[in-house]
Amino acid sequence: MSASRRTSAPAETERLGEALAPHLSLGDVLVLTGPLGAGKTCFVKGLARGLDVRGRVRSPSFTLVNEYAGRVPLWHLDLYRLERADDTLGLEEAVERAVVVVEWGEKLPARWRAEALELLFEREPGDVRRIAASATSGRGLALLAAWRSLTVAPSPEPTS
């Protein structure tokens, strides 16, 4: 099952993440895929804001994992620099203590993606992003239903 949304500006991509945040709970896994510059980290910034994370959210490209305290703790992983992920990342501990969001999540073992909400980010002309959500079972399907119900105001038109 899948459902797509389009955003027309980085701020709108962030608001989409922020709108999803209230539906998340400990142990939820979000798998983000798509090319560099497609809006994955931008989405996570909004998600973090929706989880009441304070401070600046940065891509963990070099650290692999950033942990943030919030209403629900957030573990933000970036697997770009890895060939594939294995169990040395501490995912067992992470899903017990936090919402886990993984950029380049296609590198995760299948067992971690089984009940995840998968978000595929694609660039379109201008600042438009197409974000396709999919899930196959369990908690992922519940998050997909939440995704479908989200209401996000479009970005305001630029003024001249």
Map tokens 């943030």 to a residue: 68
pLDDT the model gives residue 160: 46
Residues of the chain with pLDDT under 70: 60-63, 80-95, 153-160
Question: For residues 6 and 120, is the Cβ–Cβ distance under 8 A?
Answer: no
Q: Could you give the domains of the chain? A: 2-149 (3.40.50.300)
Q: CA dist 148 to 131, 134, 143, Å? A: 12, 10, 9
The phi-psi region of residue 157 (left if phi > 0; otherwise alpha if psi is between -120 and 50; otherwise beta) is beta
Rounded to an integer, what distance in angstroms lies between the CA atom of residue 100 and that of residue 25? Answer: 10
Q: Is 151 exposed, middle or buried (0-12, 13-18, 19+ CB in 10 A)?
A: exposed
Instruction: Check residue 112 and give its pLDDT.
Output: 77
Question: 23: how many CB neighbours lie within 10 A of its CB?
Answer: 16
